[in-house]
Structure 1
């Protein structure tokens, strides 16, 4: 026993040294996938947890003997806040009185996308998701077959409780969801120490954004101030009527960079989106193991519907401009529409990458009652440089954006600028009795969203995940797992430092609704999960 302990200390030191680099990254991966993995900071690649091996390392299926089934359920709540402050000298093209200034965001709830139905109007304090898995191994066979349903990726924010929530300009509702409804898998025991595995998760993916929109930027502000000086508040301007019609929209057609300009709702799904997981597990000693898994990515093809609802400010301005003598000529030169409908809807498509993910880990058990897991993972979130949504027609609201150098009004391109870097996870297990296992997890998740790219659509800064769980053997054939986790992260984004949220440049129309503001906030995720496993 002493010899085994001394032999593993160099490996333990190597594991601690591997934790030293500060480059780690994560967004939504592994947050709701497994009750056991959550308890161990998702560091389970070298000690895959039963049927959950399908996701974390399908080679672990080869360790299952006989037939088994697993039932799980978890509840998770997401709370995100933001506060808006104007620094000294705040001005957007001469406008200084932004109603968002000094405000804080309101209550946050969660929602669900139901495959085949859509997104109901529920506003839930938390979401409850069940899962089920089955594995089959014939006595003496080197093969184990399995399948499972589980949530592999999720982000849900609903800010619609307060209609005046200042965060509504970057997502009244945001739903990013990837539900694996089948995952045919096989584990193969090549030898007593080496196993391989393959899984094919087949997922239903959903992507929903419902947001109010405004476009504060210096050019729009300067134009609004010019209108204030040129257009009388109590009547028309005869010179303007024979000019370009800047005043023809009346009081409601006067441009204000802080006023709501439109509403947008995009709702898309990919009902059949398969990927592949490849795993290997080497267990040369009962106290040491190494595992690796490659989770293949996909260029997920989404289809769905959109609705743009334009407020009176831009509609009246365009109508007034086209009612003047020279306004239609100027509008044609600038590429403006002849009119903007109140509502425009139709179909859209988008190709949104599901990032490939590589994870490797080691298991060390220096003592009979203690086990340490350390994992390193790398997800290709750098593929999210920009998201492009293709519409089935020209969007009249976006035709106005041609003034800002955006030539294609048939698509909407939202910059992201995410990065792909390394992430670490740590898990500790204690075995005080033969029936009871205690688990502790810690995962410092440095975000793949750089500090100058974060926004309220995806308010995911650097976070830390703390977890506690236990396993209790009810009998030789059954056991139960319980887990509680807490994730916390904060961000502080000074004015003009983040062109996904608060830049006040001359042409930053897409998309900085909090131009010139300091924005600070946080995100908290609370998770509770339970699973029951039975062998027969």
Structure 2
């Protein structure tokens, strides 16, 4: 069989692997690290792109000769829409009419976490971030050194434009990002066909959430209806003061499971988070290459500040209970606080691991002008099953949750529910002329978050990433890469199927703000990126 057709057959077998068992991936992986990689469906482990090899496969640095500088920029907009519909049999202790029924989220914006400064007050329709990289190679040396600045992970969403946005109960503002600001790396050419590399990305990581909170729970609803019967409109009742103090909080102390109960703000950072990247690249033929890359994880300790702001409803209710004869006894039995301050603020700490990732890829050129790439990767996102926040004091609002299984009022456990993931990526490059190459990328990304764990904090359904781009080489040797990408996925969570979102059992208090509601939504990402590389 002629060599040309053998190459074509191999390419078909490679692409046929796309019908392998379903992959699992998540939104954050590889979406902001490289415009070149995005254009090729992030399938570049066997064809590492310049200084961006540091992230995907540092062995690719060994292919670079001379000294180069790369300037990059990306612009990305994320839209996470959701709609809410109450189940026909919704009943929370007698409360049946949720004001969020039939509503949907509104305009969304992006925020950018600036190291040291934090999140500025201004908001953007899209996130904008630059990148910068350098490589250094002495002519004839097998070593190439490099460093790069880039966002290795980012998710940002801002719903603060509409103060009544129903999505505010799972994030008015969210920003999770990992900015690599220094990445000393080296690639070594072992032979003409084999290279290895190592990099030490050092990142500034940030984790920030600002959200309103409500607790649509059957117990709160039952007490609220009891209050309506004992003390309509919150009117005082002398007899009640000798019992449980249900009326002692006045009109503002009347419980309603659908009302806003509190707000919560957290801002944590890890200014120095080092990891390790390893890679190898085997190029036995001009038409075939095999690459392997490993991105090490970390167990990073985040530190920062928090603020709980409790609305009058719960504060006045607790005050009323504790001003009665038997209320303090009942409160003591169930673990309620003596009082709830309007504001509690202080310092918070959390160990949030960064997942490791291993990726393998091949490059095949069945004909000289056409190239196919395929990657398969594995990430251990199960490290994010839960995120535990530890506060410097007992939080009175969390003491209210002792009856529902909150054992420690100094800790808040966020159930993320993530699972380990495998994902595939596919890329194609056509060399139209000696200077111009066109690129296509396709990446089916099946969510690392199961359907029964999705929330508006992490609205990451199954998505598909499609990309198009080009590379242009100037006579001077400089190279321009331009990419546009579009990612979209939808989800629908029936009522009572996801206890990070809409369960309404008695003990589902923390945290199901859309209890008993069908929640449907989508996630859309629009991306534009470019990089310019030249010698110096």
TM range (shorter): over 0.9
Q: Is the 8 A contact 2:283 2:289 kept in 1?
A: yes
1:113 deviates by 0.8
1:215 deviates by 0.6
1:54 — aligned with what?
54
2:468 — aligned with what?
468
CA distance in 2, matches of 1:534, 1:140: 19
1:326 deviates by 1.5
Deviation string, structure 1 residues 306-352 (Cα, Å, up to 9, x no partner): 00000000000000011011111221222111111111100000011
Q: Is the 8 A contact 1:170 1:212 kept in 2?
A: yes
CA distance in 2, matches of 1:417, 1:38: 27
Matches within 5 A, 1:42-121: 42-121=42-121
Deviation string, structure 1 residues 344-401 (Cα, Å, up to 9, x no partner): 1000000111111111111000001100000011111111111100000000111111
Deviates more, 1:211-220 or 1:229-238: 229-238
2:428 — aligned with what?
428
SS of the aligned residue for 2:232 comes to: coil
2:153 — aligned with what?
153
Matched, 1:212 2:212: yes
1:41 — aligned with what?
41
SS of the aligned residue for 2:429 comes to: strand
1:9 deviates by 1.5
CA distance in 1, matches of 2:147, 2:398: 45
Matches within 5 A, 1:179-190: 179-190=179-190
Q: Report the TM-score, using the length of structure 2 for normalisation.
A: 0.98
Q: Is the 8 A contact 2:7 2:364 kept in 1?
A: no
2:356 — aligned with what?
356
SS of the aligned residue for 1:37 comes to: helix
1:138 deviates by 0.7
1:365 — aligned with what?
365
CA RMSD of aligned residues (A): 1.2
Matches within 5 A, 1:437-452: 437-452=437-452
Q: Is the 8 A contact 1:440 1:468 kept in 2?
A: yes
2:29 — aligned with what?
29
**Runs of 4+ off more than 3 Å:** none
1:271 — aligned with what?
271
Q: Is the 8 A contact 1:26 1:379 kept in 2?
A: no
Q: Is the 8 A contact 1:143 1:188 kept in 2?
A: yes
CA distance in 2, matches of 1:475, 1:225: 78
Matches within 5 A, 1:274-293: 274-293=274-293
1:228 — aligned with what?
228
Q: Is the 8 A contact 2:11 2:372 kept in 1?
A: no
2:336 — aligned with what?
336
CA distance in 2, matches of 1:424, 1:24: 9
Q: Give the number of equivalent residue pairs.
A: 536
Matched, 1:318 2:318: yes
1:26 deviates by 2.1
1:118 deviates by 1.0
SS of the aligned residue for 1:363 comes to: strand
SS of the aligned residue for 1:475 comes to: coil
CA distance in 1, matches of 2:235, 2:66: 85
1:300 — aligned with what?
300
Distance 1:234 1:352, change over 3 A: closer
1:150 deviates by 0.3
CA distance in 2, matches of 1:219, 1:361: 54
Deviates more, 1:13-22 or 1:44-53: 13-22
Structure 2's unaligned 5+ residue stretches are: none
1:192 deviates by 1.1
Q: Report the TM-score, using the length of structure 1 for normalisation.
A: 0.98
2:202 — aligned with what?
202
SS of the aligned residue for 1:314 comes to: helix
Matched, 1:176 2:214: no
1:491 — aligned with what?
491
1:82 deviates by 0.4
CA distance in 2, matches of 1:214, 1:439: 48
1:129 — aligned with what?
129
CA distance in 2, matches of 1:63, 1:207: 36
Deviation string, structure 1 residues 423-469 (Cα, Å, up to 9, x no partner): 11100000010000000001010010111111111111000011000
CA distance in 2, matches of 1:234, 1:121: 39
Matched, 1:249 2:249: yes
Deviation string, structure 1 residues 130-162 (Cα, Å, up to 9, x no partner): 110000111111110000000100001000000
SS of the aligned residue for 1:176 comes to: strand
SS of the aligned residue for 2:450 comes to: coil
